C-alpha cells in the first residue's frame, strides 16, 4: 500500500476549542492512520500548536506551522520565529502559500529566507508554488523562478514542494489529470536536475476533497496532498484518507 502524505492546512478556520474537539476522535484517527499507512501533518494556527502537541504524539500526527518569520529573533512585534515553532513541537512549516504571497506581499526572497531559517531550526519546509497562468510553458518559467531557493537547500536535507495551481485553491475546480501528470513529471525532472542530493516529496494542493481524491490518487508523480477546507473536520479528512 502506498504511504500517502496528507498535509492539513487549517488556516484561520479552526479555533483552539475546535482543535480540542479533535481529541474526541483520537482512537478513530489513530486506527485510520495505521490501517491506511497514512502520513499526516496538521498545520494549525500558532496558538493551537502547543495545545495539540500536548495531546497528539508525532507517531500519529506531526505538526507544522502555517508560516514563520523571515527574522530569526528580535524586536519584531507579532512575528513567530522558526526556533519557537520547533520548541512547541513543529517538525514542518508551510511557506510561500498563495494567500501569504497575494494578501501579505510575501516575495520569493522572503520565502527563501524563511526556508533557511527553518532548516537552521531543524524544521522541514513545505514550500508552496503555483501560478495564476494556465499555459504550460508559462507555468514552467514561473515555477522555475519560484524554485530558485533549491540551490540553497542543504545537501541531504528533506523538502516538501506543494504545487498549487491558483485557480484550484478553494474553488472545487481541479486541473485535468493529463495536465497534472505532465506538470509533476516536469517538476520531478527539474528538481532532480537542480538539486540531486535533496530528498523531495511532491505534493498537490487545491480543492482536494472526498469527491476529487480518487482521481488525484491515480496520478503518478504525486506523493501526497495539501488540503485546505476539507481538512477542517476529521469526518472529511478521514474520507480523503480512505478514498
Active-site amino acid positions: 97, 164
CA dihedral defined by 27, 232, 209, 171, rounded to 10 degrees?
180
CB of 220 within 8 A of CB of 181?
A: yes
Q: How far apart are CA 35 and CA 200, in angstroms?
A: 25
**Candidate list 164, 202, 212, 241; residue touching ligand PEP; CB under 6 A:** 164
Residues 6+ apart with CB under 8 A from 189: none
Query: In the chain, at which residue ranges do the beta strands (DSSP E only) sit?
Result: 5-9, 39-43, 61-65, 90-95, 124-129, 158-163, 199-205, 224-227
- In angstroms, give the least distance from the CB of 171 to ligand PEP: 7
CB of 158 within 8 A of CB of 199?
A: yes
Q: Which of residues 5-24 bind ligand PEP (CB under 6 A)?
A: 9
- In angstroms, give the least distance from the CB of 13 to ligand PEP: 9
130 part of the interface to ligand PEP, by CB under 6 A:
no
Q: Which is nearer to ligand PEP, 40 or 169 (CB)?
A: 169
228 part of the interface to ligand PEP, by CB under 6 A:
yes
**Cβ atoms within 10 A of the Cβ of 80, count?**
18
- In angstroms, give the least distance from the CB of 4 to ligand PEP: 15
Number of residues that bind ligand PEP (CB under 6 A): 13
Question: Shortest Cβ contact with ligand PEP: which residue?
Answer: 228
Beta bridge partners of 160: 126, 201
227 part of the interface to ligand PEP, by CB under 6 A:
yes
- In angstroms, give the least distance from the CB of 154 to ligand PEP: 26
**Candidate list 106, 207, 216, 224; residue touching ligand PEP; CB under 6 A:** 207
96 part of the interface to ligand PEP, by CB under 6 A:
no
Q: How far apart are CA 199 and CA 243, in angstroms?
A: 27
Q: How far apart are CA 47 and CA 228, in angstroms?
A: 18
**Candidate list 208, 222, 240, 241; residue touching ligand PEP; CB under 6 A:** 208
| Element holding 163 (H helix, E strand) | strand 158-163
43 part of the interface to ligand PEP, by CB under 6 A:
no
The region of 74-82, 152-160, 201-209, 212-220 touching ligand PEP under the rule CB under 6 A is 201-209
206 part of the interface to ligand PEP, by CB under 6 A:
yes
| Element holding 184 (H helix, E strand) | helix 177-194
Cell output for 195:
538539486
* Chain contacts with ligand PEP (rule: CB under 6 A): 9, 164, 169-170, 205-208, 226-230
Amino acid at each position: 500500500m502506498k504511504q500517502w502524505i496528507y498535509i492539513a492546512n487549517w488556516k484561520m478556520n479552526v479555533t483552539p476549542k475546535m482543535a480540542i474537539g479533535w481529541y474526541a476522535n483520537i482512537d478513530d484517527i489513530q486506527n485510520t492512520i495505521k490501517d491506511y499507512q497514512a502520513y499526516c501533518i496538521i498545520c494549525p494556527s500558532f496558538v493551537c500548536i502547543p495545545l495539540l502537541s500536548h495531546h497528539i504524539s508525532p507517531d500519529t500526527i506531526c505538526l507544522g506551522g502555517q508560516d514563520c518569520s523571515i527574522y530569526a529573533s528580535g524586536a519584531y512585534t507579532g512575528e513567530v520565529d522558526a526556533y519557537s515553532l520547533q520548541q512547541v513541537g513543529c517538525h514542518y512549516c508551510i511557506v510561500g502559500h498563495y494567500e501569504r504571497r497575494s494578501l501579505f506581499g510575501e516575495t520569493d526572497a522572503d520565502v527563501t529566507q524563511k526556508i533557511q531559517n527553518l532548516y537552521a531550526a531543524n524544521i522541514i519546509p513545505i514550500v508552496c508554488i503555483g501560478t495564476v497562468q494556465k499555459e504550460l510553458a508559462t507555468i514552467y518559467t514561473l515555477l522555475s523562478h519560484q524554485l530558485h531557493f533549491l540551490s540553497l537547500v542543504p545537501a541531504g536535507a528533506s523538502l516538501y514542494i506543494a504545487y498549487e495551481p491558483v485557480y484550484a485553491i478553494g474553488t472545487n475546480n481541479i486541473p485535468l489529470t493529463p495536465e497534472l501528470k505532465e506538470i509533476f513529471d516536469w517538476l520531478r525532472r527539474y528538481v532532480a536536475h537542480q538539486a540531486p542530493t535533496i530528498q523531495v516529496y511532491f505534493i498537490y494542493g487545491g480543492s482536494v476533497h472526498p469527491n476529487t481524491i480518487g482521481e488525484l490518487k491515480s496520478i503518478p508523480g504525486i506523493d501526497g496532498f495539501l488540503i485546505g477546507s476539507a481538512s477542517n473536520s476529521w469526518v472529511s479528512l478521514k474520507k480523503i484518507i480512505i478514498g
